[in-house]
Amino acid sequence: MSGQAAPCNPQEIGSLFLFEKLTPEQLGRLCGEGRVERFEPGPVYTEGEPATCFYVMLEGSVVLYRRVGGDDVEVTRTSQRGVYAGSMQAYLGDRVRQVYNNSMRVTEPTRFFVLPADTFAGIMQEWFPMAVHLLEGLFFGSKSTQRAIGQRERLLALGSLSAGLTHELNNPAAAAVRATATLRERVGKMRHKLAVIAQGSYSPEVMANLIDIQERTAERVAKAPVLSPLEASDREDAVTDWLDDQGIAEGWRIAPTFVQAGLDVDWLDQIAAAVDEDILPSAIGWLNYTVETELLMDEINDSTTRISHLVDAAKQYSQLDRAPFQNADVHELLDSTLLMLSAKIGKHIKVVKDYDRTLPRIPAYPAELNQVWTNLIDNAVAAMNGAGGEGTLTVRTAADHDRLLVEFRDTGVGIPAEDRGRIFDPFFTTKPVGQGTGLGLDISWRIVVNKHHGNIQVESEPGDTRFQVLLPLTAVEEESA
């Protein structure tokens, strides 16, 4: 947008803090190559357009804002003379893409000193060559540092997740190894017991009956009900008494296994009625090994299934076998991240999932969203550890007009009011020295806002902090993060 031309006064230009050290000759050149323009209330330039001018405000009031998803988010509002905006990196030339990185509008009639971008770049190179080199180093050094520390942030997260995954995998793997060793022992004893029974003078009918009882017992194990501790205790007492009445040695050792497998006194009565009294002890011993082997195989199945689920969660988290950009189920991403972080979350923090499962899949970069979830959950856990190590993490999803809301709510110490405006700034951290890079939330903001055209915001008071991520339900043209 062009304003109304106005006379350029070198003395007025020289009264601005940006130009107050320049010579009269330099001020004259500025006025000769630049111009003064007056703008009525409204837009001056728009984010993303080619950056053609450098603006310095002479008088009036300006607002700088950025487009976040479908909203205009105000960054700065000021009436201070001398504030500047526009093509501030023009001195870098073609080495960076010269576009406006925000939008500017004026709220009242406002005058600017306007310098064309190429003129601004030329004057900088001519008048301040050392300063230009310093600024170049600062600009590219900052970019390089952000990339390096961002990579370190990801590696730290990966190391933490790997440690957690190793811990989570170790438990079911160890359980499967123990169960396999015990199963081998029990099968050996069962073979021995079968040999003892086979050496007796039992008719084929009796043997067939025993095999039938074994099969039906195995089926019963598969359908065993889940009992409360009190119900299990009462049933164990009843089974122990029954075994003692039948003269079965060490019935108190067998009873818990039978109860776990869903066997009760009525079932044992059916067994006693189906076999002769003299082989009942052997039949009970044989069935005990049968039950134990079935339970051990169930334990091995549960352990290996758990391992499979963890591997699937790791693949889902890393998205190694998926396309970078796809229609993703946010709940699958959240579940995989929570599972990967379960060791870090610990047992003292309760996790509540308040999901709206009717929400549709959304176009997204899943691996990068998982990084956002990781950063937000990690911060929530740190906040609750700072509040005594206990608390509740609530992960909620909901529809929010044309966007999908993912909210992480923790009961930690909260974020002080004076820090809330800075938490998304690069390198800002409230964690102790050595425990945070200050890039977690900056990276999250870039992924959500720049990569997904969404928004991320925070509400906080002691005991109730909520990070809210808003993501578009439909695809938006991609921008670089």
Q: Kindly give the confidence (pLDDT) of every residue in the chain, 481 residues in length, as a single tens digit, with 9 standing for 90 and above.
A: 666 777 888 888 889 888 888 889 988 888 988 889 899 999 888 888 888 889 989 989 988 887 755 566 777 788 888 888 888 776 666 666 778 878 898 889 999 999 888 888 888 877 766 766 676 666 666 666 566 555 555 555 555 566 656 656 666 777 777 778 777 877 777 777 667 666 666 667 767 777 777 787 777 777 777 778 888 888 889 988 888 888 888 888 888 888 888 888 888 888 888 777 777 887 787 788 788 888 878 778 777 777 776 676 666 665 555 567 788 899 988 988 888 788 778 888 999 999 999 999 999 888 888 888 988 998 888 888 876 778 999 999 999 888 999 999 999 888 877 766 666 655 445 554 344 444 567 778 888 888 888 888 888 888 889 999 999 988 764 444 3
CA distance 410 to 424: 18
Domain definitions of the chain by residue range? 4-127, 162-310, 325-472
Contact 34, 115 (CB under 8 A): yes
Q: Which residues contact 312 (CB under 8 A, 6 or more apart)?
A: none
Which fold would CATH assign to domain 4-127?
Answer: Jelly Rolls (2.60.120)
Neighbour count for residue 5 (Cβ, 10 Å): 11
Looking at residue 423, its amino acid is: I
| 4-127 and 325-472, same CATH topology | no
Neighbour count for residue 358 (Cβ, 10 Å): 7
Neighbour count for residue 61 (Cβ, 10 Å): 16
Distances (CA, A) of 37 to 34, 56, 74, 114: 10, 10, 24, 7
CA distance 12 to 60: 15
Superfamily of domain 325-472: Histidine kinase-like ATPase, C-terminal domain (3.30.565.10)
Contact 73, 155 (CB under 8 A): no
Looking at residue 167, its amino acid is: H
Contact 179, 307 (CB under 8 A): no
